[in-house]
Structure formats: C-alpha cells, structure tokens
Amino acid sequence: MKSSTEKILISIVMPAYNSGNTISGSIQSVLSQTYSKWELLVVIDGSTDDTLEKVFSFNDDRIKSINQENQGVSAARNNGVRNASGKYIAFLDSDDVWHETFLETIIHLMGECPDCVCYATNYYFVNQDKKRRLPVICGLKTNIPYQCVPNYIDILCISDPIFFTSCIVIHKQTFFSIGGFSTDIKGGEDTLLWIKFSLIGKIAYASIPLCDYMLPPPGVRKIRTSEFKDNVANELMLLIDKYPKQSKSLYHFLSHWYKIRSSTYLQHGDNKLARKYALKAYKNSKAKNKLIIYLFLSLFPSKISKPLFISLLK
C-alpha cells in the first residue's frame, strides 16, 4: 500500500515574463520528474514574446497556462497559488531547472518531517559559462541528508541562502495565512516570505542539491529596491514588534538586508546610496570588516569603485 505522501498532488507555479529563450528547459525539467503527481501552472505575466507558444508546444494535460496583464513576479506567483488544486505548492522560475528527483526528494522529506511548514533542498549556482558551484552555508550540518533547520534567520545572515524560491515547497493554506508574496516589494519579497514561514514553524531541508539557479552576469541584475521607501525594512520592523523573542535574529537580518542594498548600489555606481546603507548595516552587523570595505569603496568615484567591487564579487 502506498503511503499518504505518495498520493500528494504538488501544484507547481511558474511565473513567466518574456521567457521564450529559457522556459522550455524549465518545463522539461518538470516533465522529467520521477514523481509524477503534479500540475504545472504557468502564469504568463503580460509576455510579448513567444513564451505562450513555447508552453503550448508541450502536450501534457498536467500543464496549464494562466494569462494576466503584466503585474510583476509576486502577483504572478500569488495568482498561480490561487488557481492551484494541490494543498502543497512548489515554485519554479522560468529560467531555473530541477534535477529529476527534486519532487521525489521533497515527498520523502515530508514523510521524514511531517510537522514542518515548508520543505526545501540544496541547489547549485550556475553562471553564464554553465559552471556550477554549491552555496556556501555556515551554521548548518550539510552532511545530514534530511533535517529541520534550527535557526534559519541566523544562517541567512552569514551564508548564501540555504534555499531559494525555485527549490521550496509550502502549504497553500499557510501561504495565504501569512499574506503570500508582497506585491509592494520589488526586491527581497521572497526572502521576507521565507522568514515569515520560519517564524511560525519548522523548515525541513534536504542537503542534496537538486535545482540549478541561473545567475545573471555580475552587475547586470536590475535595481529592484526603492531609494525612498524600503518596504522590506519596514516589514522587518513590524516582525520585530510581533516576535520579540526573535528580535535579535531579526535585527541581525535587518543589518544584512542593508548590506545587500549597499552592495546593489555599489554594483550600479550609486555610491551615495551605497554609503548610506553600509552605515545603516554597520549598526547591528557582526561582519563589520566587510562593511568597512563597502564604505571605503563608496568614497571613490563610481568609475573606479564599480569595476573594483564587481571584480571582488567574482
């Protein structure tokens, strides 16, 4: 007799905006899964290229498309979850790729850790030359195949992310109970959501890397944060008030978030804002030496600091 986890329908939400060059590989990685009880909802977010035609080229009743006017990735993901039939939701971006045992491993993880609020696996960073590297993870025993993450926010502050949106599965009901992806936030909205999950329950984790996360070239990623309104920081302050027992970790991440913003502005040559957020980060940071480097670079003209910083990232 099959266990209850083998009967679970996983609804996969794939937001897609002008993804004609990459989406076929992402969809094919879903079709190649060893676990077959899934549905794939591709949310076409106002694409103007051949994304929809690429979706229609796959002849599988489990693949469905949803069309919407361009509203951004958060609105697309929320729309996909609303239309999902399964109680569990997976997310896969239209340029990322799952390894064939990703869903099978998630199902096994559910059996191992049934009381968790979300389930995730390790992954690979893949650069423009198709070279892979594992994330650098501190504070977690990566030699243990299946475990509950004990201190997600603290690990997030000192490591590469232990997972990202394309390698996590969550409860649909819990997703909506904490508000889903914020459509008011254009950068960091996914990390903020996983922090909210970690505050209300346990995160189950498989240390096996089963997803390829495609990196843009250094310095190419667009600025998705607002100079005037930092909604992520505002949300974090609300969480600090709501979860006082976790305030130390949340303040630590707030500093980490400011460091990310400083890094983004250094990459784009806006040294004034880079310096502003490096100073904000310095207040609660445990990595003050790195921030001194940020502050030092921000004092130079951007034509000097920008290439230097990008070379450091490489």
Phi, psi of 220 (to 5 degrees): -90, -30
Rg (CA), the chain: 20
Question: In terms of Cα–Cα distance, which of 186, 14, 191 is closest to 92?
Answer: 14
Residue pLDDT, tens place only, 268-302: 899 999 999 999 998 877 667 778 888 988 998 98
Q: If you count them, how many residues does the chain have?
A: 314
Beta bridge partners of 124: 212
Helix (H) or strand (E) holding 208: strand 203-214
Q: Nearest-CA neighbor of 14 among 89, 88, 101, 102? A: 89
Per-residue pLDDT tens digits of the chain, which is 314 residues long: 345 566 899 999 999 999 999 999 999 999 999 999 999 999 999 999 999 999 999 999 999 999 999 999 999 999 999 999 999 999 999 999 999 999 999 999 999 998 999 999 999 999 888 899 999 998 888 788 999 998 999 999 999 999 999 999 999 999 999 999 999 888 889 999 999 999 999 999 999 999 999 987 665 455 555 555 789 999 999 999 999 999 999 999 999 999 989 988 998 899 999 999 999 998 877 667 778 888 988 998 988 888 888 887 76
Give the three-state DSSP class for 240. helix
Per-residue model confidence as pLDDT tens digits over 184-226? 888 889 999 999 999 999 999 999 999 999 987 665 455 555 5
Domains in the chain (CATH in brackets) are 4-214 (3.90.550.10), 231-313 (no CATH)
Q: What b/e sequence results for 244-283 when a residue is b if at least 16 CB atoms lie within 10 Å of its CB, and e otherwise?
A: eebeebbbbbbbbbbbbbbbbbbbbebbebbbbbbebbbe
Q: What are phi and psi of 168, to 5 degrees?
A: -135, 145
Residue 218 has a pLDDT of 60
Rounded Cα distance between 263 and 187, Å, is 13
3-state secondary structure of 299: coil
pTM for the model: 0.90
